[in-house]
């Protein structure tokens, strides 16, 4: 494993694990307030959110940034 991956805190984390962790920590309502995207605010589900986040790099980046701020 190269040094960059060893220091990457997201290494080994799937988007699903990250999203589940954020939902468990904040709940859908607070997550939707912190990251104002439709899939978090209107009939939220992990499945629909993952589908959107996998297609939308800017939204995925916001989710990863929020997750990173929580583990720092």
| Residue pLDDT, tens place only, 9-67 | 777 789 999 999 999 999 999 999 999 999 999 999 999 999 999 999 999 999 999 99
Euclidean distance between CA atoms 46 and 36, whole angstroms:
16
Query: What is the signed CA dihedral for 47, 50, 51, 53, rounded to 10 degrees?
Result: 160
For the four alpha carbons of 22, 50, 28 and 31, in that order, the dihedral sign comes to: positive
Domains of the chain, with CATH numbers? 14-71 (1.10.720.30)
69 pLDDT more than 70: yes
Q: What angle do CA 8, 13, 16 make, to 5 degrees?
A: 145
Q: Look up residue 52 and give its two tokens.
A: 């959107």
What does pTM read for this prediction? 0.84
């Amino acid at each position: 494993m190269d040094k960059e991956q060893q220091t990457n805190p997201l290494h080994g984390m799937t988007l699903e694990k990250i999203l589940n962790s954020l939902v468990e920590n904040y709940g859908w309502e607070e997550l939707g307030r912190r990251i104002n995207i439709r899939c978090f605010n209107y009939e939220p589900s992990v499945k629909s959110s993952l589908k959107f986040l996998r297609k939308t790099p800017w939204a995925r980046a916001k989710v990863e940034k929020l997750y990173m701020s929580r583990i720092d």
